[in-house]
Amino acid sequence: MKYLIFLITIFIRPAFSMNDLEGKALICSYGKNSTNHEIYLFYKNRYASKYLFLENHNFKIRTNEKRKYYLSEKNLTLKPFKINLDSLTVFDMEFNKTIGKCKIVVNHKLADNFMINHKIKSQNKYDNLIRKNSV
């Protein structure tokens, strides 16, 4: 029975391994209603993040420069965040609390498409809100 549970855990666990992180991505959701998103694109020993920001009433996607990540058996560290590889929850080490949840995406293109769609939806929602408040 213990052997069966061990095998199931290995195959179900959505964790990254040292050999297969390159080319994959994470989509992480933050905020009270998990409506803020950031994507993390992984390269060899580095990652880049992308997020939305509002400038002159237009949402834009900003890409941060590539930074080093740290991978252990249980956690992926993207300072100041630590992501638990079993639950994919994001822990903010600076404020000492859990702040979000992630999901694994098999390639950068899917993560980028998610962010583009999120930008379009956010812009439409913002434009509608501005229209309602300006009348």
For the chain, domain boundaries: 2-134
At residue 83, the pLDDT reads 97
Q: Tell me the two tokens of residue 122.
A: 């956010």
pTM summary value: 0.83
At residue 135, the pLDDT reads 60
At residue 37, the pLDDT reads 97
**What Å distances lie between residue 28 and 56, 83, 88, CA to CA?**
25, 10, 9
**Side chain identity at 82, as an amino acid letter?**
K
pLDDT one digit per residue (tens) for the chain, 135 residues: 544 444 444 444 445 554 568 999 999 999 989 999 999 999 999 999 999 999 999 999 999 999 999 999 999 999 999 999 999 999 999 999 999 999 999 999 999 999 999 999 999 999 999 888 876
Q: Tell me the two tokens of residue 43.
A: 């390269």
Phi-psi sector, 107: left (phi>0), alpha (psi -120 to 50), beta: beta
At residue 133, the pLDDT reads 83
